[in-house]
């Protein structure tokens, strides 16, 4: 929380170029509260074309994750009630992940 509320946010300028691969999509039937649980695997390829102040300049990076979404139908439209992303290398430091869906 300290990092999120007390430290400056580094902006990407220009933004990273990314390609997202989604696979192994699993949808569970609606629960008693009306929410559907959706799980998937995601692989993201990122290239940072930014300026010299950005970490990882022009170095390709691969990010693998297992994602879980709780979807709720509100007035005929699906809304994300909860999102959980668990990185394959969750023990490693990660910088600027503003592009994670």
Q: What is the pTM of this model?
A: 0.68
In sequence order, what are the residues at sequence separation of 6 or more whose Cβ sits closer than 8 angstroms to the Cβ of residue 33? Answer: none
**Percent of the chain's residues with pLDDT above 90:** 39
Residue pLDDT, tens place only, 25-50: 999 988 778 889 999 999 999 887 76
pLDDT, residue 34, reads 81
Query: At residue 5, what are phi and psi to the nearest 5 degrees?
Result: -100, -20
**Cβ neighbours around 86 below 10 Å, total:** 10
Report DSSP state, residue 1. -
Q: In the structure, what pLDDT confidence band is assigned to residue 89 with cuts at 50, 70 and 90?
A: confident
Domains and CATH numbers, the chain: 16-87 (3.10.450.50)
Q: How far apart, in whole angstroms, are the C-alpha atoms of residue 17 and residue 3?
A: 25
- Straight-line distance from the first to the last Cα atom of the chain, in angstroms, rounded to the nearest whole number: 21
């Amino acid at each position: 929380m300290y990092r999120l509320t007390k430290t400056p946010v580094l902006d990407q300028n220009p933004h990273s170029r990314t390609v997202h691969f989604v696979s192994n999509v699993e949808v569970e039937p609606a629960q008693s509260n009306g929410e559907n649980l959706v799980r998937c695997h995601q692989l993201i390829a990122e290239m940072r074309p930014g300026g010299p102040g950005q970490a990882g300049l022009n170095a390709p990076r691969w990010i693998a994750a297992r994602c879980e979404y709780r979807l709720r139908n509100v007035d005929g439209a699906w809304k994300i009630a909860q999102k959980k992303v668990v990185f394959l290398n969750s023990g490693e430091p990660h910088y600027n992940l503003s592009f994670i869906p």
